Amino acid sequence: MTELMVQERQAEILRRLKQEGRVVATALASLFGVSEDTIRRDLRDMATAGLCERVYGGALAIGPGRTTLKQRIGVAAERKKTLAAAAISLIPAQCLVYFDAGSTNLAIAEALPDDLALTAATNSPAIALALQEKPLVEVILIGGSLDRVAGGSVGARAIEAMAHIRPDLCFIGTCGIDADGGLSAFGLEDAAFKQFVAARSRRVAVAATREKFEVSAPYTVAAADQYHCLLTEPGIDPARLRSVRDAGCQIVVAGT
């Protein structure tokens, strides 16, 4: 490896932190060909700068990088990751994809591979931040009034901004799925916006963990025949899925 300057070395450490969630001091020392003291100094500086959390033996990432590490450990989030992996296989390269606000869609955005080139639109600041990390993704942010509960822009301005865009594919978030496969949301404006986006998209996908099948939210978003793909986990009552499939919807069960 070519000799690196301080800033480059720290930048590289930061990159590894983001990617792997953690770094080991001794490994970095031999990797860069410097003493462990130097690495420790680097980590200390980066920690005081708030770029990482110093721990005995190395350092941990802060923020999303660290949550992905936690996700690797946590079982519940492991399911979302599986879902996300399956979702990504639905995305053709070089197309325009819309990501609706929501934690499941955030997981999909985070899981996008670095070598996938596409244009991504979203109404969620959190998803926008995640997408910003993907080098080949051009990000379009949909503005509007920020809905605290939904975690994304809604309202007239959001719809106006969305009217300029026709996604090839959209991932709609849902709060609940009723017996007939209908999607629902907790907010009136949120539901209206989802509806608008779904109507404009060539292809509508819904990624939902199994607990969504046990929730019914007050505002309807779309019936089963208004979306094209339902992405979910194993262990759902086959009768529920059948009714959705009968409406002409593709069912993808992740992890099978």
Rg (CA), the chain: 21
Q: Write out the binding residues for a copy of itself, residues 163-182 only, by CB under 8 A.
A: 164
Token pair for residue 200? 């404009």
Min dist CB 227 to DNA, Å, is: 30
**Residue with Cβ nearer a copy of itself (32 or 227):** 32
Question: Which partner in a copy of itself, DNA, none is near 19 (CB below 5 to 8 A by kind)?
Answer: none
Residues of the shown chain interacting with DNA in the complex, contacts defined by CB under 7 A? 5-6, 9, 25-26, 33-38, 40-42, 44, 54-58
Question: Which partner in DNA, a copy of itself, none is near 151 (CB below 5 to 8 A by kind)?
Answer: a copy of itself
CA separation for the pair 200, 198 (Å, rounded) = 5
Burial of 116 (0-12, 13-18, 19+ CB in 10 A): middle
The reply to whether 56 sits near a copy of itself by the rule CB under 8 A is yes
Q: Write out the binding residues for a copy of itself, residues 80-99 only, by CB under 8 A.
A: none
Question: Is the separation of the CB atoms in 232 and 252 below 8 Å?
Answer: yes
The reply to whether 148 sits near a copy of itself by the rule CB under 8 A is yes
């759902």: which residue's tokens? 236
Closest Cα partner for 198 from 98, 107, 86?
A: 98
**Residue with Cβ nearer DNA (42 or 233):** 42
**Residue with Cβ nearer a copy of itself (120 or 244):** 120
Query: Binder to a copy of itself among 90, 96, 109, 131 (CB under 8 A)?
Result: 131
How many residues bind to a copy of itself according to rule CB under 8 A?
49
CA separation for the pair 107, 105 (Å, rounded) = 5
CA separation for the pair 98, 123 (Å, rounded) = 9
Residues in contact with 103: Cβ distance below 8 Å, sequence separation at least 6, in sequence order: 80
Min dist CB 218 to a copy of itself, Å, is: 22
Opening angle at CA 229, ends 88 and 233, nearest 5: 70
The reply to whether 1 sits near a copy of itself by the rule CB under 8 A is no
CB atoms under 10 Å from CB of 18, counted, come to 17
Query: Binder to a copy of itself among 29, 31, 34, 77 (CB under 8 A)?
Result: 77
Min dist CB 42 to DNA, Å, is: 7
**Collapsing DSSP states into helix, strand and coil, what is residue 252?**
strand
CA separation for the pair 252, 256 (Å, rounded) = 9
Residue numbers of the site for a copy of itself (CB under 8 A)? Answer: 5-8, 11, 14, 22, 24, 46, 49-51, 53, 55-58, 60, 65, 68, 71, 73-75, 77, 123, 125-126, 128-129, 131-132, 135, 138-146, 148, 151, 153, 157-158, 161, 164
